[in-house]
Amino acid sequence: MFPKTHLTIAAAATVVVTAAILMSPSAQVEAKRMSYALDLEQGTVSDNGTVETPEPEAPNEVVINGQAPVADAEQQAKVTKPAPEAEPALEWQTYKIKSGDTLSSLFKKAGFNDGIMLSVIHGEGEADKLQRLYAGETIRFATDNAGDLAAIELQRSLLESLKIEKAEEGFSGQTVIREPEARPAFASGTIDGSLYLSAREAGLNDRLTMELAGIFGWEIDFVYDVRKGDRFEVVYEELYLDGKKFDTGRILSARFVNRGEDNTALLYTDSNGESDYYAPNGKSMRKAFLRTPINARVSSAFNLQRRHPVLDVVRPHEGTDYGAPTGTPIKAAGAGRVRFSGWKGGYGRTVILQHGDNITTLYAHMSRLGKGIKNGAKVKQGETIGYVGSSGMVTGPHLHYEFRLNGAPRNSRTVKLPDAKPVPASEMARFKRYTEQRLAQFNGFRENFQQLALASDE
């Protein structure tokens, strides 16, 4: 059993662990540390050369509870970063932009008149973008020794800024986007009550937990299927800027053991740049159809022996109703083509989609159709095709949804859904190379985690 602990492994240590595993399970790490880049987009491992460290370190150095592995990261940063250039002495004034501030008022506060402001916004490059200011952003003015404006920095967010500098003639501006450093981290837990509580105890934030549920949600119903004792393991990105963690990124790989059944999902970016989650055998984690085309609760189930609520006669209910306020978006359950869009008797405003040769889905009682939804139009899975309403013969606003196989109605909530497309055969070799690295990384984390768990039991 895994204790519900959260641990973070230093990025450098992880790389070493992974590299060691890739080379040989018992390999001693040599005195010269190898720095590997796991290029997950290309599916290759490249050697970034050697980084000199004074002492070889054990490959399984592990840090618990995010206590920063700074020494390694900083040492590496020092090796790769060029020495900062000597800059002329500038004096910076910083203002947090509030609603009501104008560019002119900010220039005035910093001691510069409108003439200077105009020469800045008429400058080269992206200098004119200084005119778009938003409350909450930070602006800094730099003054040189002579008291002249030398530079302006508009910090739009942690990652984006607009930098304007004095050029030979006038000013010149440039948007600078910083790339955060993504370091892999691991979390693991056993479900006691809900996934959300256990995931939070394991150190995952709610966004990662939502994503985790989304990855496995095609196979596992997190409301009905999850049992006490189910386990999860996640390798995800922690995003760092200047050595400080500021956010989490994507889930790279995840495992969910549901009632003894093992599900593993790996994030894979194909050669067209499309990313999705696949099982290690290349099967998509998705289905070709959403189980539910709307974020709403079932108000009336599929029932072929139902009494009709308005007509009060036995009339089969050939679909599932979802009660939702008028205007709630309705998603295409699968990719396909619009076979019908318009008014259809008691169904009211309706869309029928054709998926391949033998499946159709129907969405009735809409208040209005989605943008571009007309006969023959192509739709993507999840695209909004219309909005909930109460058109046709109904007692209140809801979506009536039908799933038909060869024309016969099927219960959309229980019908076996076809899988989404797997990794194509032409890309399988690339996928295999890539998944080997992902699984090695996953196993490295897990082994460290188990060793730690044993150590803390003793």
Q: Which residues, in sequence order, are bridge partners of residue 95?
A: 139
Question: How many other C-beta atoms can be found within 10 angstroms of the C-beta atom of residue 220?
Answer: 19
* Chain contacts with Zn ion (rule: CB under 5 A): 319, 321, 400
Min separation Cβ 454 and Zn ion, Å: 56
Question: Contact 187/236 with Cβ under 8 angstroms?
Answer: yes
In sequence order, the β-bridge partners of residue 149 are 143
3-state SS assignment for residue 286: coil
Helix (H) or strand (E) holding 124: strand 124-125
The residue among 303 and 443 lying less far from Zn ion, judged by its C-beta, is: 303
For Zn ion, the closer of residues 255 and 400 by Cβ is 400
Closest CB 399 distance from Zn ion, rounded Å: 8
Nearer to Zn ion, 319 or 389 (CB): 319
CB atoms near residue 346 (< 10 Å): 15
Q: Shortest approach of Zn ion to residue 365 CB, angstroms?
A: 8
Closest residue (Cβ) to Zn ion? 400
Q: At closest approach, how far in Å is the CB of 441 from Zn ion?
A: 48
Least distance in angstroms from the C-beta of 308 to Zn ion: 9
Q: Name the residue with tokens 């192509």.
A: 378
Nearer to Zn ion, 238 or 318 (CB): 318
State whether residue 359 is helix, strand or coil: strand
Give the nearer residue to Zn ion in terms of CB position, either 233 or 321.
321
* Contact present, 11 and 37 (Cβ < 8 Å): no
Q: DSSP letters of 58-90?
A: -TT--EETT---HHHHHHHHHHHSPPPPP----
Q: Which helix (H) or strand (E) holds 402?
A: strand 398-405
Query: What is the Cα–Cα distance from 70 to 115, expressed in whole angstroms?
Result: 47
Provide, rounded to whole angstroms, the least separation between the CB of residue 417 and Zn ion.
20
Q: How far is the CB of 341 from Zn ion (least distance, A)?
A: 19
DSSP 141-166: EEE-TTS-EEEEEEE-SSSEEEEEEE
Residue 276 CA to residue 266 CA, distance in Å, equals 8
CB of 350 to Zn ion, least distance (A): 12
* Whole-Å CA distances, 372 to 341, 368, 423: 11, 12, 30
Phi, psi of 236 (to 5 degrees): -135, 170
CB of 325 to Zn ion, least distance (A): 17
Query: Nearest distance from residue 344's CB to Zn ion, in Å?
Result: 13
Which CB atom, from 267 or from 394, has the smaller least distance to Zn ion? 394
- Cβ-contact 184, 441 below 8 angstroms: yes
Q: How far is the CB of 66 from Zn ion (least distance, A)?
A: 50
Element of type H or E holding 434: helix 428-457
Contact 392, 347 (CB under 8 A): yes
Looking at beta carbons only, is 355 or 400 nearer to Zn ion? 400
Q: Phi, psi at residue 114, to the nearest 5°?
A: -65, -30
The single-letter code of the amino acid at 269 is T
Residue with smaller CB distance to Zn ion, 4 or 400: 400
Nearer to Zn ion, 319 or 386 (CB): 319
Complex with Zn ion: residue 107 or 401, whichever CB lies closer: 401
Comparison of 184 and 319: residue with beta carbon closer to Zn ion: 319
DSSP state of 131: G
Closer by beta carbon to Zn ion, 15 or else 324: 324
Give the integer Cα–Cα distance in Å for 334 and 217.
16
Kindly state the smallest distance separating residue 400's Cβ from Zn ion, in Å: 3
Greatest CA separation for the chain? 90
